């Protein structure tokens, strides 16, 4: 059990929160999502925020699902992840035999966002989604340790 403060993030509040968190991050941001947007507008905002964070010296780690039902979706997702990598983000596409369906953000090892939002236009504007922002260093550490177990080489310096 963790003691923390929490905020509920419905619909479009998530997009605003994500861009704000990338803007205030001081050391590290971890993004883990099943699918990343192919909306040009949202990609532009996300790339701009990721780029600005990296330019401030923030380490940005991105973990993406590696299994999609359709090859065309797989190709799009790989291109999107590669574009984040070109900005300087440390990106890893899952090689699990199953699906990495988690939607997690960890900021500065003190803020954790967990919920149903993918980092996509549909999640932010069309679907019924709900996520929770939790302020807890202890929870952030546990989540990071789970990700370290799943992506051990991604946390090496």
Q: State whether residue 79 is helix, strand or coil.
A: helix
Q: Which residues of 27-58 are buried (b: 16+ CB within 10 A; e: fewer)?
A: ebbbbbbbbbbeeeebbebbbebbbebbeeeb
Q: What is the pLDDT of residues 49-101, one digit of tens each?
A: 999 999 999 999 999 988 877 888 888 889 999 999 999 999 998 887 778 88
pLDDT the model gives residue 49: 97
Counted residue by residue, the chain has a size of 157
Q: Is residue 115 part of a domain?
A: yes
- Tokens matching residue 32: 């883990």
- Is residue 157 one of the residues assigned to a domain? no
What CATH number did the domain enclosing 48 receive?
Answer: 3.30.870.10
- What token pair was written down for 119? 């980092």
Which range marks the domain in which residue 145 is found?
A: 5-152
In angstroms, rounded to a whole number, what is the distance separating the alpha carbons of residues 56 and 33?
Answer: 23
């Amino acid at each position: 059990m963790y003691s923390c403060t929490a905020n509920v993030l419905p619909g479009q509040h998530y997009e605003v929160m994500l861009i704000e968190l990338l803007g205030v991050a001081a050391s590290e941001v971890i993004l883990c999502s099943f699918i990343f947007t192919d909306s040009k507008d949202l990609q532009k905002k996300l790339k701009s925020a990721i780029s600005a964070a990296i330019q401030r010296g923030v380490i940005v780690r991105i973990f993406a699902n590696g299994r999609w039902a359709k090859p065309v979706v797989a190709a799009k997702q790989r291109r999107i992840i590669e574009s984040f990598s070109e900005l300087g983000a440390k990106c890893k596409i899952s090689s699990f035999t199953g699906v990495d369906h988690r939607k997690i953000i960890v900021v500065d090892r003190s803020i954790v966002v967990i919920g149903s939002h993918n980092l996509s236009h549909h999640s932010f504007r069309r679907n019924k989604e709900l996520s929770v922002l939790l302020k807890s260093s202890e929870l952030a550490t546990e989540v990071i340790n789970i990700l370290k177990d799943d992506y051990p080489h991604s946390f090496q310096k």
